[in-house]
Amino acid sequence: MRIVSGIQPTGNLHLGNYLGAIRNWVSMQDDAAASGGECLYFLADLHAISMPHVPADLSANTREMVAALVACGIDPDHSILFNQAQVPQHAELQWLLNGTARMGWLNRMTQWKDKAGKNREGQSVALFTYPVLQAADVLIYQATHVPVGEDQKQHLELARDIAQKFNNDFCAEDAPLFTLPAPFIPPEAARIMSLRDGSSKMSKSDPSDMSRINMTDDADTIMQKVKKAKTDPEPLPSEKAGLEGRAEANNLVSIYAVMAGTTADDVLAQFGGQGFGSFKPALGELLVEKLAPINARFVELRQDRTALDAILRKGAEKARALAIPTLEKTYDALGLVRR
């Protein structure tokens, strides 16, 4: 098993990232250690420049995100933790794959359509070609599994399409170059929604900080955000089917279930018939209890910039060594003269 995934270092790590992706990064790291597999987790800083950004914030956020990931349980001695900018092979492979990716495929990406909105002409070229870099990120390591939230599924399907077309166009049938990566999406936390609007996902780019729980929020802030979360006036149902059409209630019950390591039906067996006046404090306390140790570790780790930089340097060195063979084979397959 070769597990690869990334996160953009733009702003805080939030509960959607944690439940949708990072929790699985940690459990897959532990499984990989037992089975001899390998995990590569990276900060997608090259992706982050596809949107307007402040350079000093990007550097600071990159280091903070390393501290946050280690605080969540990513162990840099067991997983390869690095940032793309120190592994230029990602960007190199992207260019080579640009010859295979089709305009029509990129035009269909929902994230491109959402982010560009009506102003496509005004967007950076990087925002449009972003999914090709994402394909390079996983294909360069011959990833077998990619733990992500639901919103990344389409990008991963594109990575498979690019790999397939490259293999067909440039490789012998019995010697494909690229492994087709499989997304690994947790069904119970595929899409954690905003606390202010049950129809949009919890996101770093939401201007309202009240819409998300940050992994770095302190106990008071977490309690406050849960208390203020949008809900409806009905009491909770006693079975999951009763949450149909109640997006906000459904979201809070899902969060409770995943954090408690149980099912929505079990949560409703306990809280069914009760109003949010009693459910919200219970959810807030559960979140505080589970997130407090992560928060404490984060606060400690973030202060040691030298240690954070050393983690990235060491991870990048290992990642480069794994990336180079596939990159060289790609140059060869395309007939590019290198020696």
Catalytic residues: 115, 201, 204
Q: Would you say 152 or 231 has its CB closer to ligand TYM?
A: 152
Chain residues that interact with ligand TYM, rule: CB under 6 A: 5-8, 16-17, 20-21, 44, 47, 134, 137-138, 146, 148-149, 151-152, 189, 191-192, 201-203
Distance of CA 39 to the CA centre of its chain: 14
Q: Would you say 16 or 284 has its CB closer to ligand TYM?
A: 16
Q: How far is the CB of 337 from ligand TYM (least distance, A)?
A: 30
Q: How far is the CB of 185 from ligand TYM (least distance, A)?
A: 8
C-beta nearest to ligand TYM: residue: 20
Tell me the C-alpha distance between 40 and 316, whole Å.
10
Q: How far is the CB of 154 from ligand TYM (least distance, A)?
A: 11
Distance of CA 198 to the CA centre of its chain: 20
Find out whether 42 and 78 touch, Cβ atoms under 8 Å.
Answer: no
* Residues sharing a CB contact under 8 Å with residue 138, sequence separation 6 or more, in sequence order: 4, 146, 156, 159, 181
Tell me the C-alpha distance between 195 and 206, whole Å.
11
Q: How far is the CB of 27 from ligand TYM (least distance, A)?
A: 14
Q: Would you say 35 or 205 has its CB closer to ligand TYM?
A: 205
Q: Would you say 126 or 307 has its CB closer to ligand TYM?
A: 126
Q: How far is the CB of 144 from ligand TYM (least distance, A)?
A: 13
Give CA torsion, residues 237, 241, 245, 247, to 10 deg. 70
Q: Would you say 187 or 273 has its CB closer to ligand TYM?
A: 187
Bridge partners of 39, per DSSP, are 3
Q: How far is the CB of 230 from ligand TYM (least distance, A)?
A: 15
Q: Would you say 286 or 307 has its CB closer to ligand TYM?
A: 286
